[in-house]
Amino acid sequence: MIRIVATLAVLLGGTTLATAQDIQAEIEAFTEADGFERLDLDLIEKVLLDQFFDVGEIAPGGSIGPIEKALIVATAEIPSVRTRTALSYGEIVTEEDGAVSFIEVRHYNLGPAIRADLIEAYGEGDVADEEAFGMGDHMAWRFVFQPLMGNSAALIDVSNKVIPEKSAAKHDCDGRPCLDYGPSLDEMADWEPMTDIALPDWEPLYPQSEGGLATPAFAVSQLAVVGFWANAEGGDYQWTGSEPSEAEADAAPFRFISIDRNLGNEDAIDTVWREVAPIGYEGGEVLFRRAEVGGQVSWMQAWDTP
């Protein structure tokens, strides 16, 4: 608690004390709600540092955005690669110090469900063991980040909790039951192909691939560049965030990311970024999708008009 207050004093140096206290109260309500347990910041920062390639810099990982950092931590802490991830993002913007980011990541291990169905269909003798399908609990994480001294997203607070199986079975992941690996992201919107995508290459800041597929964080970073929430011109990646939108009166989520990883017969990672009420599209939604199957990437987009 002392460290968080001290950090906020630096971050919010240009704001009034009442504003700093209000934001601190919002952070505590977010990270301590619903059975979440706050974690040691130093331990979580070590998880991040172990993934960063630029550890010799003054601010390692300084150009990486808050969503990627949240996904790096959540992905590192679950062994399974057969997962469904639901991420929600809200922020409080202060005039002097930028956006305080409030991120929840719900990470579901679908390996056991896939294995159970295969056993029912083919018998246990013809199905690999549990470890091959992926181990680990369903987990929920809450992160708070804010820009600080050359760091686009300094970690301010973090908590997590195990999601019990019975609770997970009732959860919704952007219109799909979180534990039902059957419904795909095809059904999420009326997708239109994006045939003119030519992303720049940039110097890797953390592992961009695992098992021949993009890591969740890297898939999201590419979507961020497509949607102009990040810039990578000139070979250097930089999270830029976005202008405040109609949805940002408080820390209520307005940005949602869905990720399905290795839930079918082929190695695949399917990622959707859904933005509610972006500037110039108030009252509606815009969606970008990156679908990678066997190393081949397809890009799609959709709109939900007011």
Contact 156, 4 (CB under 8 A): yes
Shortest CA distance to 226 belongs to which of 258, 196, 186, 269? Answer: 196
Mean pLDDT of all residues belonging to the chain: 88
Contact 218, 209 (CB under 8 A): yes
User: Is a pLDDT exceeding 90 seen at residue 206?
Assistant: yes
Contact 154, 147 (CB under 8 A): yes
φ, ψ dihedrals at 216, nearest 5°: -55, -40
User: Is a pLDDT exceeding 80 seen at residue 277?
Assistant: no
> Which is it for the CA torsion 160, 166, 171, 176, positive or negative?
positive
Residue type, position 169, single letter:
A
What confidence category does residue 279 fall into, taking pLDDT thresholds of 50, 70 and 90?
Answer: low
- Each residue of 49-92: pLDDT tens digit? 999 998 777 788 999 999 999 999 999 988 888 999 999 999 98
Question: Residue 205, Cα to own-chain centre: how many angstroms?
Answer: 16
Contact 104, 159 (CB under 8 A): no
What confidence category does residue 18 fall into, taking pLDDT thresholds of 50, 70 and 90?
Answer: very low
What's the pLDDT score for residue 50?
94
What mean pLDDT is predicted for residues 97-108?
Answer: 92
What's the pLDDT score for residue 247?
45
What confidence category does residue 242 fall into, taking pLDDT thresholds of 50, 70 and 90?
Answer: confident
φ, ψ dihedrals at 54, nearest 5°: -100, 45
Helix (H) or strand (E) holding 26: helix 17-31
What's the pLDDT score for residue 2?
46
> pTM (2 decimals)?
0.90
User: Is a pLDDT exceeding 60 seen at residue 10?
Assistant: no
What mean pLDDT is predicted for residues 272-290?
Answer: 85
> Which is it for the CA torsion 34, 39, 41, 47, positive or negative?
negative
